[in-house]
Amino acid sequence: MSSENTHHQVSVDLMKKEDLQEILAIERISFPTPWTEGMFLDELKTEHAQCLVVKIEMNGETMIAAYIIFWFVADEVHLHNLAVRSEFRRQGLAYSIMSLMKGIAAQAGIKRQTLEVRESNLGAINLYRKCGFVVKGKRPQYYTDTCEDALVMWAEGQEEEQHG
Ligand SMILES: CC(C)(COP(=O)(O)OP(=O)(O)OC[C@H]1O[C@@H](n2cnc3c(N)ncnc32)[C@H](O)[C@@H]1OP(=O)(O)O)[C@@H](O)C(=O)NCCC(=O)NCCS
């Protein structure tokens, strides 16, 4: 996937080891308990993990703007990680990459998607609702760093997107 205007070009690539230092910098500002390099390396070695990066080329410089990791588990997609570099937020990038995940899953014949999200992460919860996910459950004190509950969200493929 790529799109272009006079100022920048956006592309989606498979995540590589060489991307990890840039990804770890985004990870550290995005999460209270960031993933370690070892955790990303494990994902890169996992056969059913899909690890993608969004790259933006601006004025001859290419940088990672976002990344997503999801697993195919039987007939379900499990979202494991998603973050957008702070200067590229609120421009529809996460929505686009979630749509890409849905499209890749659909090509594999998979419609059911699930994820866990911190109850306090209202931006992400809004994003997921916009992508057709609904809250189906809660895992009490799932996040051991803050003892926060996780909301378990599912998209079954037939929900309408919620706007607004
Ligand atoms: C959550 C995150 C991935 C959203 O990325 P993004 O590219 O800014 O999201 P988008 O621009 O595609 O937003 C799509 C919709 O999500 C919702 N949304 C996104 N960020 C939001 C925010 N900060 N507050 C409220 N709603 C938000 C809105 O409904 C938005 O649609 P709108 O802009 O038309 O109102 C990004 O803020 C991020 O990386 N956060 C830190 C990491 C994280 O929390 N990841 C999710 C872990 S479960």
The tokens describing 127, both together, are 């994003």
User: For residues 121 and 148, what is the distance between their CA atoms, to the nearest angstrom?
Assistant: 11
Whether residue 54 is predicted with pLDDT greater than 90 in this model: the reply is yes
Q: In this structure, are 116 and 86 located in the same domain?
A: no
pLDDT exceeds 50 at position 164: no
Determine the atom of ligand 1 nearest the C-alpha atom of 97: 12
pLDDT value at residue 7: 67
Provide the percentage of residues in the chain whose pLDDT is more than 90. 87
Give the pLDDT band of residue 5 (cuts 50, 70, 90).
Answer: very low
Specify the number of domains making up the chain.
2
Please check whether residues 90 and 135 belong to one and the same domain.
Answer: no
Query: Is 149 a residue whose pLDDT tops 80?
Result: yes
162 CA distance to ligand 1 middle (Å): 14
129 lines ligand 1 (CB under 6 A): no
The ligand 1 atom nearest the CA atom of 91: 11
Ligand 1 center from residue 49 Cα (angstroms) = 23
Instruction: Give the residue numbers marked as catalytic.
Output: 116, 128
Q: Are residues 42 and 102 in the same domain?
A: yes
Which residues are registered as beta bridge partners of 53?
Answer: 13, 67
CA atoms of 96 and 99, how far apart (whole Å): 5
Computed on alpha carbons and rounded to an integer, the radius of gyration of the chain in Å comes to 16
- 20 exposed, middle or buried (CB, 10 Å; 0-12, 13-18, 19+)? middle
Domain that holds residue 145: 111-164
Domain boundary residue among 69, 95, 110? 110
Residue 158 binned pLDDT confidence (cut-offs 50, 70, 90)? low
Query: Whole-angstrom Cα distance, residue 159 to residue 6?
Result: 36
CATH number of the structural domain spanning residue 76? 3.40.630.30
So what's the pLDDT on residue 151?
98
Does 76 have pLDDT greater than 60?
yes
CA distance 36 to 92: 27
Q: Is 121 in the pocket of ligand 1 (CB under 6 A)?
A: yes
The tokens describing 73, both together, are 């588990």
* pLDDT tops 90 at residue 161: no
pLDDT of residue 125: 98
Q: What is the pTM of this model?
A: 0.93
pLDDT of residue 160: 45
Q: Is residue 76 domain-shared with residue 24, that is, in the same domain?
A: yes
Ligand 1 binding pocket includes 131 (Cβ within 6 Å)? no
Predicted pLDDT at 49: 97
Residue to substitute in 12, 27, 81, 89 for testing ligand 1 pocket (most ligand atoms within 8 angstroms of CB): 89
Interval 41-59 mean pLDDT: 96
Q: Which residue has the tokens 């459950």?
A: 137
89 C-alpha vs ligand 1 centroid, how far in Å? 7
Q: Are residues 50 and 97 in the same domain?
A: yes
**Averaged pLDDT for residues 110-118:** 97
Q: How many CB atoms lie within 10 A of CB 62?
A: 13
- The per-residue pLDDT for 71 is 98
Q: Which of 110, 73, 65 is nearest to 90 (CA)?
A: 65
Find out whether the beta carbon of 125 lies less than 6 Å from any atom of ligand 1: no
Same domain, 106 and 117: no
Same domain? For 32 and 83 the reply is yes
Q: Does the structure show a pLDDT above 70 at 163? A: no
